[in-house]
Amino acid sequence: MTAKMKKQRMSDQKRTALSAYLFISPFYILFAIFGLFPMIFSFYLSFFRWDGLTPMEYVGFSNFEFIFSDPAFFSSIKNTFLIGIMGTLPQIIAALFLAFALNSQLIRFRNSFRTLVFLPYITSIVAVAIIFGVIFNNQPFGFANYILSFLDIGPIRWNAEYWPVKMAIATMVFWRWVGYNTIIFLAGMQSIPKDLYEAAKIDGATILQQIRHITIPMLKPVIMFVVFTATIGSLQLFTEPLIFLGRGLREEGITMVAYLWRDAFVYNSFGSASAAAIVLFFIIIALTTINFLITSRIGKSKKVG
C-alpha cells in the first residue's frame, strides 16, 4: 500500500513538473528561434562572404580584417561611447532626482506628474522624429538655432557637424528614456521604509544627505539594473541616429549597430555585418562586467576600527 502511494505521489510530481515545463516552453521556443539561432548564425556567418542571394563563400577572418581596417568602424565605436556617455549618464542622475521628487510628500498631483514623466517612453518614434527634426533643424528658423540666435551664435548644422550631431542624438536618448528610468527608481524608492527618512529628518539630515546615506544604498539593486540596461541600450543605439541622419548615416553620428545595419541592408555585406556584431557582443560583455564590478561597490559601508 505504501509503495503504491509513493508511486502515485511520484506520478503526481511528474505531472506537475510536466505542466510547469509546458507553461514556460513558449518563451524558450520563441527565444531559441528568434534569439539563440540568429546569435549562433551570426558567429557562423562572420567567416563567410554573403550578399543574401548567392551561395556563401568561406573567407576565414577576412571580414574581421575588413572592419578593423575601416575608419568608419572605429568612428562608429567612438560615436557609440560618446553618445552613450552624453545621453545615459545625465539621464540616470536626472532620473534619480526626479524619482526622489515624485516620491516626496511635498508635491501635489504626484500621479499626474508621474504619468507626464513616463509619456516620452510611450511616444511614437515617428512623433519623436518630427519633434526633434524641428528642434534641430539646420536652418536659422530651427528651434535650437533660433534660441542660439539670441546669444549671437550663428546657425548650426546639427546633422552634419561633429559635436552637434552627438548632442542632438544624446538629447533624443535622454528625452526618450529618462521617464522610464524615473519610474524604475520610483518603484524602488517606494519599497524603502519611511521610518528611515523620518529618523534622518529628526537628526537634522539635509535632502542631499538623505539621498546619499539612505536612498542610494537602499536602491543598490535597482541602480545596478538601471545601469546594466542603460549601458546595453546605449551600445545598441540604432533608431535615433537612423531617424536623425537618414539611411546615409554620416560618419559624424553613425553608431555600431547602425554601422552593421548599413553593411547588411544597404551594402548587402552580411559577413562583415556579422563580424561587427560579434565585436559588439564582446564589447557589451566586457562593459557589463566592468559595470557590475563598479556598481557592486555602491552603498558598501566602510568598516570602522
- Short-list 35, 32, 34, 65, CA closest to 271: 65
Structural Rg of the chain based on CA atoms:
25
Residue 30: pLDDT band with limits 50, 70, 90: very high
Q: What is the pLDDT of residues 162-206, one digit of tens each?
A: 899 999 999 988 988 899 999 999 999 888 888 888 888 888 888
Name the percent of the chain lying above pLDDT 70: 93
3-state secondary structure of 101: helix
The C-alpha cell 542610494 sits at 216
Comparison of pLDDT for 304 and 166, the residue scoring more: 166
Q: What is the pLDDT of residue 94?
A: 92
- Tell which residue, 196, 192, 235, has the closest CA to residue 77: 235
Q: How confident is the model at residue 303 (pLDDT cuts 50, 70, 90)?
A: very low
Q: In this structure, is the dihedral angle defined by the CA atoms of residues 109, 115, 119 and 121, taken in order, positive or negative? A: positive
pLDDT in tens, 41-85: 999 999 999 888 888 899 989 999 999 999 999 999 999 999 989
Residue 240 contacts residue 253 (beta carbons within 8 Å): no
Q: What is the pLDDT of residue 240?
A: 84
Averaged pLDDT of the chain: 85
Predicted local distance difference test score (pLDDT) of residue 69? 92
pLDDT given for residue 184 in this prediction: 92
Burial pattern 197-207, b for ≥16 Cβ within 10 A else e, equals beebeeeebee
